Structure 1
Amino acid sequence: MSDEVAFTVARGKGPWIWSTDERRFADYLMGAGPMVLGHAHPRVVSAIAEQAAIGTHYFLLNQRAQELAAKICHLVPCAESVKFCANGSEANFYALRLARAFTGRTKVLKFDGAFHGHSDYAVQSLRAEPDRNDRHVVSDSAGVPRQISDTVVIAPYNDIERTRQLTEPIAHEIAAILVEPVQRAFMPAPGFLEGLRALADKTGALLVFDEVVTGFRLALGGAQEYFGVTPDLCALGKVLGGGLPVAAVAGRADVMELTIPGRPDDGRSAFMSGTLNGNPLGCAAGLATLEVIEELGAPAKLKEKGETLAAGLREIAKRLSVPLQTIGPPSILQVVFGVGPIDNAEVLAASRQDAAHRFGIEMTRRGVFCSPGKLYVSLAHTDETHNLFFEMAEQSMRAVRDQGLLG
Structure 2
Amino acid sequence: MACASKGSASATAPTRNLRPDARETSVNRAPGLSVRAKLTLSYAGFLMLAGVLLLAAVWAFLLRYVPDRALIIPGSTDITLRVFPIRSNLLRVFAPRAASVLAILLVLGLSGGWVLAGRMLAPLTRIADATRLATNGSLSHRVRLPGRKDEFRELADAFDAMLARLEAHVAEQQRFATNASHELRTPLAISKSLLDAARSDPNRDAVEVIDRLHVLNTRAIDLTEAMLLLSRAEQRCLIREQVDLSLLAEEATETLLPLAEKHGVALETRGEITPTFGSQALLLQLTTNLVHNGIVHNLPEQGTVWVTTSLRPESVVLAVENTGEKLTPQLASTLTEPFQRGAGRIHTDHAGVGLGLAIVKTITHAHDGTLTLTPRPAGGIHITVELPTTPPPTTRKH
Q: Flag whether TM exceeds 0.5 (same fold).
A: no
Question: If each structure's helix is expressed as a fraction of its own residues, which one has the higher value?
Answer: 2
TM-score computed with the length of structure 2 as normaliser = 0.22
TM-score computed with the length of structure 1 as normaliser = 0.21
